[in-house]
Amino acid sequence: MSKNDILYGLHAVQAVLKSAPQRVLTLMVLQGRADQRLQKILQLAKQNGISVQEASRKKMDALAGDANHQGVIAQARPGKNYDEAYLYDLLDGIEHAPFLLVLDGVTDPHNLGACMRSADAAGVDAVIAPKDNSAGLSPVARKVACGAAEVVPFIPVTNLARTLEKLKARGVWVKGAAGEATETLYTTELTGPVALVMGAEGEGLRRLTRETCDSLLKIPMAGTVSSLNVSVATGICLFEALRQRS
């Protein structure tokens, strides 16, 4: 198994079996595990004619790089590679106001996975990120995403500022989250076509990204800490947008 072909964790494996079973080549389960959550996965595998093999914990730990695989690992064909052309086709095809999440250089795969999970729950149409100096959809990110990475398009782009300019030309309002903003999340209009831009862990938005945004917003903070983890901040912003859009 190559690293790029491994999916592990109950949610991630179940999601790919539901959304794209043709990708799954084989399924490996922990010897002796027979609980109800695993039965759903085994049933999906049987329905789709996917072979299942039992394996020792030692073997599964080695394949997952000691990550918490929850006793299930799938070997799968690579998923669809989404590119910038797909993004514009998507925008042309949807009939509602686009809702996009942009991650400007999030490098921690756990944070990326958590952002993907929140994006799916909040109804985001696609997640956009720079190709360089950013986390990609690794097995760790996919597991943390709990299946969201199999259904929400993740679109790496070569030049983020240029992509944001193209989105603006298509009528999408680009709104960046930044601690120095004067406008707060709760006074910002997030209905209509919106791309919400979140900065990297620690550094926040890069200068060019910040300058490309139509406006900046901040999450009001009542305590002594000056910032939130990027995945937590992303969840707060996305669900305020969902509240307004509902």
**Rounded to 5°, angle at Cα 150 from 51 and 209:** 150
pTM of the complete model? 0.84
DSSP H or E run through 213: none
Which tens digit of pLDDT belongs to each residue from 120-169? Answer: 999 999 999 999 999 998 888 988 988 888 889 999 999 999 999 999 99
Q: Where along the chain do the CATH 3.40.1280.10 domains lie? A: 84-245
Could you read off the pLDDT of 64-111 as tens digits, one per residue?
887 789 999 998 887 777 999 999 999 999 999 999 999 999 999 999
pLDDT of amino acid 143: 86
For residues 160 and 186, the answer to whether their CB atoms sit within 8 Å is: no
CATH number of 3-76: 3.30.1330.30
Q: Which residues are annotated as a binding site for S-adenosyl-L-methionine?
A: 199, 219, 228
Task: Sort 219 into a burial class: Cβ within 10 Å, 0-12 / 13-18 / 19+.
Answer: middle
Binding residues: 199, 219, 228
Q: Where are the alpha helices (DSSP H) in 78-170?
A: 84-93, 109-122, 139-144, 160-169
CATH class for domain 84-245? alpha beta
Which residues make up the CATH 3.30.1330.30 domain(s) of the chain? 3-76
